[in-house]
Amino acid sequence: MKQSTHTLEISTRGKRLYEITSPIVEWVRQQRIQTGLLTIFCRHTSASLLVQENADPTVRTDIESYFNRLAPEDGPYNHNSEGTDDMPAHLKTALTQVQLSVPVIDGSLALGTWQGIYLFEHRTRPHGRQIALHLIGE
């Protein structure tokens, strides 16, 4: 049994879903694991992870609009010191997740046909985001 770790650095330019499936799949392939478990961990409280459809792009824009309505910038928040987009960012992170684990079976991630892995950036200004990867298997 072996383990590997890696940190993915993602530059974001505003609130939206950024697909990160390719760099993750590529890193997993380089570890030459047949069976194992990949864990993806977003080291932030105003950006999160989502598995979603990677076919029709309107699914992603509808998701972004929906979460903007569900956690609006003009909500009755006390935490306003970091900008009107900050408290909604924390709420959207709470409603989604910062961690995702995906089994590796027969040498590949067990993602479904339509599943892509996304970084969900909730802040307006450009940010550098760190995604920690951990793989165990053999």
Q: CB 99 → its own copies: shortest distance, Å?
A: 5
Does the protein bind its own copies through residue 87 (CB under 8 A)? yes
Coil, helix or strand at residue 55 = coil
* CA–CA distance, 50 with 119 (Å, rounded to integer): 6
Structure tokens at 79: 């935490």
Q: CB 120 → its own copies: shortest distance, Å?
A: 9
Count CA atoms closer than 13 A to 118's CA, side-chain side.
Answer: 24
Does the protein bind its own copies through residue 102 (CB under 8 A)? yes
- Interface characters, 113-132, with its own copies (x: CB under 8 A): xxx--------------x-x
Residue 62 identity: D
Residue pair 126/23 in contact (Cβ under 8 Å)? The answer is no
Site for its own copies in 3-42 (CB under 8 A): 3, 5, 35-37, 39, 41-42
Neighbour-count burial of 15, counting CB atoms closer than 10 A to its CB (0-12 exposed, 13-18 middle, 19+ buried): buried
* CA–CA distance, 123 with 100 (Å, rounded to integer): 21
Pick from 56, 83, 125, 126 the residue near its own copies by CB under 8 A: 56
Give the interface segment with its own copies, choosing from 8-16, 24-32, 57-65 (CB under 8 A). Answer: 57-65
Interface with its own copies (CB under 8 A): 1, 3, 5, 35-37, 39, 41-45, 50-53, 56, 58-59, 61-63, 65-67, 70-71, 75-79, 81, 87, 90-91, 93-105, 110-115, 130, 132-134, 136-138
